[in-house]
Amino acid sequence: MLFTKNNLSRALIFFIGFIVVAKIALVFFLYTNKFPVSPIQDPLEFRNLALNILEGRFSSAQEEPFVPELYRTPAYPLFLSATFLLDKNGYLAIDVIYSCLSAVFVDNKIYSTI
C-alpha cells in the first residue's frame, strides 16, 4: 500500500526538512543580497556568455569583436541565460533555484538515512 503510516511519517520528515533548509537558504540569500555584486573572472565570463547567448552569439566578450568561445561548454551559460529571461538582473532567479536544489539534495540525504 502506498500510504502506510511509515511512508507518511517519512514524507512528513522529508517535507519538514525541505522547508527548514529552504528557509535557511532564503535567509542567507536575503542577507547577502544587500551587498553589491561585482562578478570577476569566471562569474563575469559566464554572465557575459549568458547575455550574449540571448543575443544569438556564443562569446564571453563584452563588446565587439565577439570571438566565439571555445573554452567553455554551453550548458551552464544556457542555464544562466534562462534565468536572465526570468529576472532581468538574473541573480534572484539563480539564488532561488540554487536554494531549492540545495534543499532537495540535503533533504534527500537526510531522508535516505532514515
**What is the mean pLDDT of the segment spanning 20-42?**
69
Among the listed residues 38, 45, 42, the one whose alpha carbon sits nearest the alpha carbon of residue 89: 38
**What is the mean pLDDT of the segment spanning 5-33?**
76
**What is the mean pLDDT of the segment spanning 26-33?**
70
CA 83, CA 110: separation in Å to the nearest integer? Answer: 29
Domain boundary assignment for the chain: 5-113
**pTM for the full predicted model:** 0.56
